[in-house]
Amino acid sequence: MENHFDPEREAEAAMKLAVAVNGAERQKWIRVAMAWHELARERNRWDRIAEEAA
């Protein structure tokens, strides 16, 4: 099944939202951006593992 999310793009969008707001809302969007960034790192890692196995 194809995944249509681009975690790097989602992380960037969340950081833009974080810049636009203040206080607790900003912290929330920073955490969301960090989570998307971590997903992007994991996806890249799994892509490299799949390439090495092929």
Domain assignments of the chain as residue spans, ordered by start: 7-53
Amino acid, res. 2: E
The pLDDT score that the predictor gives to residue 3 is 67
- Listed in sequence order, the residues at least 6 apart from 20 whose beta carbon sits closer than 8 Å to its beta carbon are none
The pLDDT score that the predictor gives to residue 18 is 96
Q: Are 37 and 11 in contact (CB under 8 A)?
A: yes
The pLDDT score that the predictor gives to residue 41 is 93
The pLDDT score that the predictor gives to residue 54 is 82
d(CA 40, CA 15): 14
The pLDDT score that the predictor gives to residue 47 is 86
pLDDT in tens, 1-54: 466 889 999 999 999 999 999 999 999 999 999 999 999 999 889 888 988 988
- pTM equals 0.78
